[in-house]
Structure 1
Amino acid sequence: MKRLMAWRPTARRVVLTAALGLAACGLAGAGEVQVAVAANFAGPFQKIAADFAAQTGHKAVAATGSTGKFYTQIQAGAPFEVLLAADDETPKKLEAEGLAVKGQRFTYAVGTLVLWSAKPGLVDAQGNVLTTGRFSRLAIADPKAAPYGAAGVEVLRALGVLDAVASRIVQGANIAQAHQFVATGNADLGFVSLSQVAVPDKPSIGSWWVVPARLYTPILQDAVLLTKGAGNPAAAALLAYLRSEPARAVIKAYGYGL
């Protein structure tokens, strides 16, 4: 009996030591990946990055901004390893220019454009506020750099009101700034992403119109492995995680299509 009692703690110590050894190996293999994230995807990516770290030990360090400006920065040698774009054209161009790894690109989300106001009742369910002109300022992201801004211009043109409202447009550098203009009252309404106004587990603010998809080119948001991340296991792991069911559930919860 004494031998048996003496043996059991030793066995537990062996198991504990093995478990700690495995954990240490996991931590030793943990890495970091530099990610350029389209401004519209900042909210969901914050949640995805936290879950990614918990699952893999890898850390995703994100910078958010307009896809067009990220493209320019990547061309200039910015240290990004993964790009989560707000379109599919920019990743294609980076592949063609040898700045992204071919065969790694995929659509991680399909964006939804909304016309939003921080004021309850200002934006009606059909978006007629654009034709009635009951507003002073309309915020929109730079259409040359931000796909959601380009989509907003398409909508105005499709509705036949672009010329009529042109003098009322205030332009943000990206969709986050366009959203800020509306949130602070510097613009009465603006074109933003559904993910910015329909945040899971948070009360809705103001009023909005989900723009019918027929009024603008589909916003296919592609992810791509950049050449600077080609040898980084954390970069490959992040792209794989974006395709996982937990990540897809977060993306869908923020109003994106899959």
Structure 2
Amino acid sequence: IQKRFGNNQIYTFIGDILLLVNPYKELPIYSSMVSQLHFSSSGKLCSSLPPHLFSCVERAFHQLFQEQRPQCFILSGERGSGKSEASKQIIRHLTCRAASSRAMLDSRFKHVMCILEAFGHAKTTLNDLSSCFIKYFELQFCERKQQLTGARIYTYLLEKSRLVSQPLGQSNFLIFSLLMDGLSAEEKHGLHLNNLCAHRYLNQTMQDDVSTGERSLNREKLAVLKQALNVVGFSNLEVENLFVILAAILHLGDIRFTA
């Protein structure tokens, strides 16, 4: 496995189990061309192709219709092992494989993931964008056309304690960094958030010396988040109220009680 990893072969089959070793870098193994190379008429593994997540997806896709029963992927591993990225690639391949309106589903999925990442991901010692909850994806297919027709996402076990206290070297949820760097001075003033680092829930680990590039990226991410919220059905007023609620949470955290 170590030798394969050194050759950027991050996937290895151990029986029916596919082992992934996170390379912590971008590899050109998830392109549309690679996805199409794994298309199969039967779902059987192709001996000429190296082990890959897409092979498992193809097998599950065909077994779904051949066996007439639901198929399931269980992604297991410690934080930072690549589970979130793997789940994205599974859905991406199925969208490429079986979606009747691929562009629409791709866009919808990206917007939903953007929202989930903002409110449920945080920086940890192993990962700058680590999931702090469990996601359960459910994809629906049309049996007759063998096409992907819809999806549902359920969330479980959100790490709520992170809001009030973060482990050393880790951050609060990403949304607060986006607010700190992405809101205009006028918006911050309206929410009484002139100095976000002064709030107790954020000053435990949040640093003032954030690079200019990172601040710029956070501003872009907040703009994308606002767009994503609009796309999934939030009005501009509801988005504003959402930010008011987030600001209220920070202010509540500053209340101190004395005997």
Structure with higher RCO (Cα < 8 A, 6+ apart): 1
**Taking structure 1 as the reference length, what is the TM-score of the superposition?**
0.22
Q: Which has the larger radius of gyration?
A: 1
**Taking structure 2 as the reference length, what is the TM-score of the superposition?**
0.22
